[in-house]
Amino acid sequence: MAVHHIDTPFDLVGLRRSLDSHTCRFDVVALAECASTNVQLLEMAEAGAPSGTVLVAERQTAGRGRRGRIWHSSTGDSLTFSLFWRFPEDSRAPSALSLVVGLAIAQALENLGAGGIALKWPNDLLHENRKLAGILIELLPGAPRAAVIGIGINLSVPATLPEALSEHVIGLDSLLGVMSAREAILGALLAELANTFDIYSDQGFAALRGAWQRRHYFTGRTVRLLFDHAPDVYGICAGVDEDGALLLDIEGICQRFIGGEISLRPA
């Protein structure tokens, strides 16, 4: 593993210790600040960066979420990073990739001692319906099985966050008895992502679906789907299928919805 520091006190030794046997699978670039780790890593990937390249930033000035939303991050309060990964040509990637990433993050944080973590289709992690982490996946142009995976985790809730937002988010520090160092958290996340990607590449999302379903916050609940250019849809969430599509029971008929510009909300 190589770690490149640019004006940031990122702890190389701590990260290497956390990665353990996975050290050789990652090349980490640590920045004090950047506009967006996803945007910068996409440029690096197009310029030839290898699979396993990680870009972690103390602070993002133009962090992005799904559907053009802003991801708020500040030094010390969040862990924001992007991972570039090339999947084998015979894999099912990128089908259900955001669900696979969410499951890996949940499992890694659970292993660190965080309890009560739930998943929200297709790309959020929750605790008691408050947002803990988010995922943004972008494919490398012309390479459908090469993805830049952006991950943002709230380590704590910033005191400066507007009240209208702070009541809907939660920090990892609220879920851990003793807060781990960010290098230990990042190492645990990367190691679990590598393990989960190996299963996904060999067996597809079908092999991970059961573990994802057990953590889905909305399964069995009445929900509302919001679309950009269509009326809202209401139904009872029946989980997801083997391709990661959301299943909704609408007046006794099971209907399938794929990801994209769709938002899932409680009814």
Residue 14 pLDDT level (bands cut at 50, 70, 90)? confident
pLDDT at 7: 59
Identify the active-site residue in 25, 86, 131, 224: 131
Phi, psi of 96 (to 5 degrees): 65, 20
Q: In the predicted model, is pLDDT for residue 36 greater than 60?
A: yes
Higher pLDDT, 159 or 202: 202
73 with 195, same domain? yes
190 with 249, same domain? no
Amino acid at 258: I
Q: In the predicted model, is pLDDT for residue 76 greater than 70?
A: yes
CB 201: neighbour CB atoms within 10 A?
17
Q: In the predicted model, is pLDDT for residue 2 greater than 70?
A: no
Question: What CATH number is attached to the domain comprising 250?
Answer: 2.30.30.100
39 with 163, same domain? yes
Span 211-262, pLDDT tens digits: 999 999 999 999 999 998 889 999 999 999 999 999 999 999 999 998 767 8
The question of whether 265 is a catalytic residue gets the answer yes
80 with 151, same domain? yes
Q: In the predicted model, is pLDDT for residue 94 greater than 80?
A: yes
The question of whether 120 is a catalytic residue gets the answer no
Identify the active-site residue in 64, 66, 145, 209: 66
pLDDT at 61: 85
28 with 158, same domain? yes
157 with 259, same domain? no
Span 170-213, pLDDT tens digits: 999 999 988 889 999 999 999 999 999 999 999 999 999 999 99
Residue 144 pLDDT level (bands cut at 50, 70, 90)? very high
Q: What is the 3-state secondary structure (H, E, C) of 205-261?
A: HHHCHHHHHHHECCCCCEEEEEECCCCCEEEEEEEECCCCCEEEEECCEEEEECCCC
The question of whether 66 is a catalytic residue gets the answer yes
94 with 122, same domain? yes
109 with 175, same domain? yes
Give the mean pLDDT of the chain.
91
Residue 244 structural domain: 218-266
Identify the active-site residue in 69, 214, 256, 265: 265
112 with 33, same domain? yes
Q: In the predicted model, is pLDDT for residue 67 greater than 60?
A: no
pLDDT at 201: 98
Span 100-124, pLDDT tens digits: 999 999 999 999 999 999 999 999 9
Question: What CATH number is attached to the domain comprising 204?
Answer: 3.30.930.10
Specify the pairing of strand 27-34 against strand 233-240: unpaired
65 with 95, same domain? yes
95 with 227, same domain? no
Number of domains in the chain: 2
